[in-house]
Structure 1
Amino acid sequence: MNRNFALKLITPLALALGCGAAKAESPADYPTRPVRIVVGYQAGGPTDVVARLVAKQLQSTLGQPFVVDNRPGAGSNIASDQVASAKPDGYTLLFAAAPIASNGFVYKNLKWNVKTSFEPISQIMSAPAILAVSPTLPVQNLAELIALAKKQPGKLSFASTGNGGTQHLAGEMLKQQAGINLIHVPYKGASSVITDLVAGNVSMAFMTSISAMQYFKSGQVRPIAVASPKRLAVLPNVPTMAEAGLAGFDVDSWSGLFAPAGTPKPIIEKLQQAAIKAAGAQELRDNLLPQGAVLVGNTATEFKAYIDKDVDHMSKVFKTVKVTLD
C-alpha cells in the first residue's frame, strides 16, 4: 500500500478515536467508570457508616459505582494523603471527618494542607460529641467522674479514634477544664473504642451518637454529658456539659466529601448536586436522624467557608489545649 495513502486512512481514524477518548473523559460526561471514596477510619465506624450511605446515593444519582475504600491509621492522615496526591479527575474522593481540620496542628510533617490540597464538595452531617463512661466505672454523672479522677490521678483513661482527632481534643479539653489527669488511649476506629469501653478496658470516651446510640440505649455504655449547647432530642435525660458543670464545652463532629485540589469545576458541581441530594435522601434521614445527627448538604462554597472557620477555631483551641502524640 502507498505510504501516503495509508497515512490518509490512518490519520482520520486516529483523530476520530482521539476525539472519542477525549469525549469519554470530558467533565460533562463524568463519571464514566467507578469512583473510589477513601475513608480514613475502620469499617463500621460512624464516618464509614455515613460514607456508605452517601456512596449508595451517589451511585443511584450518577449511574456509576461509588466504592468505599477504608484506609485507617495515623489519625486518618493516610487516607487524606492518598487523596491529596491522587489525580484530580473526580475518580478518587475523600470522605473525611472533623479531624481533617485539626490534624495540621498536631502532625507537623503532613504532606497536605486542608485549605489548599482539597476541593470541598459538600458537608453531609454533624453531630455533637457525647461523653460516655464504661458501665464498670462507679459514676453516674460528670461531677462524680471528676471527683473519682481527682481521687485516682493518672488511673482513669479516655479512648479516642486517633491522635489529634475530635475525641482526643475533647479528652484534653476535659483534662484541662476539670483539672484532672487522664491517660489517653488512641485506637484506629470507633468500633474498637466501643468494644474496650463496654469491656471496661478504658474508662471513658467522647463518642458520636451515630456510633454509640445502640449501646447507650442498651445500657452497655453510660452517656453522662453532651458537648453541645442544647440537649439531644434522642437523649433528653443526658445533660449538656455546661449543665453538668463545664461551661463553653462544645465539640462538634462532622463529615463531608472532598476531591483533590485541581479537580475540574464541572465535576465538583456535579458531585455537589449529587451530594446535596444524598444528604436529603430518606434513607439517610431514617438512619441518621434517630441517632442525633443533623443532615446538612451545603454547597462547595459554603463547605469551604465552614472548614476555614473550623480551622481558625482550632488554631485558637490549640493555643490553650496541649495535644501531644502518644
Structure 2
Amino acid sequence: MKITMPVPTGIILALGMLASLCTTNGFSQEYPSKHIRIVVGSAAGGSTDTLARVLASNLSNALSKQVIVENRTGGSTSIAIQNVVSSVPDGHTLILLVSSSAALSAMGTKLPYDLERDLTFISQLATTPFVLVVNPSVPFYNVAGLVSYARANPGKLTYGSVGIGSIIHLAGELFSEIGNVKLLHVPYKGGSESTLALVGGQIDMNFTTTVEVLPLAKAGKLRILGVTGKSRLESLPSVPTLNESGLAGYDLYAWYGLAAPAGIPAAITARLNAEIVKIANANEFKKLLLGHGLEIRTGTPEEFASLIQFEIKRNSGLIKRSKMRAE
C-alpha cells in the first residue's frame, strides 16, 4: 500500500524561495550570453560617441563579451531611446543617455515613450559644465558687463544652440531668467555650426563645452566669461562661475549616464552598476575623460533615477515660464 505523507507548508515555501533564488542567480551568472550594444543618439565622432566607445572597450574587457556602439541619430535622441525601450529587457541593450534626453522629455512634446517609466537607470557616468563664451568683437570682459548691456538693450544680444528645447537653449533661458535679461535665441542644426557662427560673428555669445572652445579661446577667436556649474574648472581656474558673477543660483551642466530597457533583472542592474563604477573611477579612465573636459560622477541606480526626475521637473518649469515651444 502506498502511503502519502503531507509536506508541511513551511517546507514548500522554503523550497519555492530556494528555487527562485537559484533561478535568479543562474540567470545573473549567465549574463552576458551574447554581445552587448550601447546605443548612442548622436553621430559617430562626437563627444558622446567617443565616451561610449571608450566605455564599450572597458566594459567588454570586464564582461568578457564584445560590446559594440550603435549610432541612431535624429529626434534629439528620441529615436535612440525608442529603439532601446522597445528592446528585450535582458541587459544586452543599453543606452548612453545625455542631459538633452531629459530636456526633450520636459518639452511636453508627444513622445512614444516615458523616460522615467520605460527605462532602468544604471549609473550616472560623467558631467561637464558649460562655459559662456563671446565673440571677441563684443566689448565685454566679464559677465556683469554683459548683463548690464543686455538689460539696457533687450533682445539685441544673440546666442545659438542645437535647437529649440536643447540643453543649450535651456542654458540661455536660465541665464535670461536669473539675470533678468532678454536674449535672442538662434537655433542651428548642430553644435559645430553654432560655434562657427559665433567665431564668424553671426551671433554674440554661446554656451558650450570646454573641449570645443578651449583651442579657439587660446587662439584669440573666442573669449570665455564664465562657467555654468557650481565650481570653477581645474582647466580654467581663473574663470569665475556665473553664480560668482552675480547670477545667484545658476547651476547647469551636461551629464552622461547608462540606462537599459525597463524590467531588466535586478541582479543584472546591480552587476552593470558595479562594473561601471569600477571602470569610471580607474585612474586611466579618469585621465582620459578629463582630457575631454569631463569629470567622473557615478552613483547608484536610484541616484541616477532621482537626477532624471529632478531635471525633467526643473526643465519643465523653465520651459513653461519662458513660454518655449517645440519646433
Counterpart of 1:97? 98
Contact 1:96–1:258 under 8 Å retained in 2: yes
Q: Name the counterpart of 1:222.
A: 223
How far the C-alpha of 1:136 sits from its partner, in A, is 4.5
**1:119-268 correspondence to structure 2 within 5 Å:** 119-149=120-150, 153-176=154-177, 177-188=179-190, 190-268=191-269
- One-letter code of the match for 1:282? N
Task: State the percentage of identical aligned residues.
Answer: 35
- Structure 2 CA distance for partners of 1:33 and 1:162, relative to 1, 3 Å: farther
Q: Secondary structure at the match of 1:42?
A: coil
Q: What's the TM-score once normalised by structure 2's chain length?
A: 0.82
One-letter amino acid of the structure 1 residue matched with residue 142 of structure 2: N
Question: 1:145, CA displacement in angstroms?
Answer: 3.1
Distance (Å, rounded) in 1 between the aligned partners of 2:192 and 2:275:
29
Q: Give the aligned partner of residue 283 of structure 2.
A: 282
1:296 matched residue in structure 2: 297
Kept after mapping to 1: 8 A contact 2:150/2:181:
no
Distance 1:113 1:60, change over 3 A: same
The answer as to whether partners of 1:126 and 1:253 remain within 8 angstroms in 2 is: yes
Q: In structure 2, do the counterparts of structure 1 residues 173 and 30 end up closer, same or farther at CA, with 3 Å as the change threshold?
A: same
SS at match of 1:115: helix
Cα distance in 1 for residues equivalent to 2:154 and 2:265: 54
SS, match of residue 244 in structure 1? coil
Residue 260 of structure 1: how far off its partner (Å): 0.8
1-structure distance, mates of 2:160, 2:231: 24
> Closer, same or farther in 2 for the Cα pair 1:284/1:195, shift >3 Å?
farther
SS at match of 2:244: helix
Quick one: which amino acid aligns to residue 265 of structure 1? Answer: A
Structure 2: gaps of 5 or more residues: 1-22
CA distance in 1, matches of 2:54, 2:61: 11
- Residue segments in structure 1 that go unaligned for 5+ positions in a row: 1-21
Quote the Cα distance in structure 1 between the aligned partners of 2:80 and 2:166: 14
Q: Distance in 1 between matches of 2:181 and 2:45?
A: 34
Matched, 1:113 2:111: no
Q: 1:138 and 1:44, CA in 2 relative to 1: closer, same or farther beyond 3 A?
A: farther
Work out the CA distance in 1 between the residues paired with 2:304 and 2:269.
12
Q: Residue 248 and residue 119 in structure 1: after superposition, are their counterparts in 2 closer, same or farther (change >3 A)?
A: same
Task: Return closer, same or farther for 1:313/1:31 CA change in 2, 3 Å cut-off.
Answer: same
Q: Number of paired residues?
A: 303
Deviation at 1:154, TM superposition (A): 4.2
With 309-318 and 295-304 compared, the bigger mean Cα shift is at: 309-318
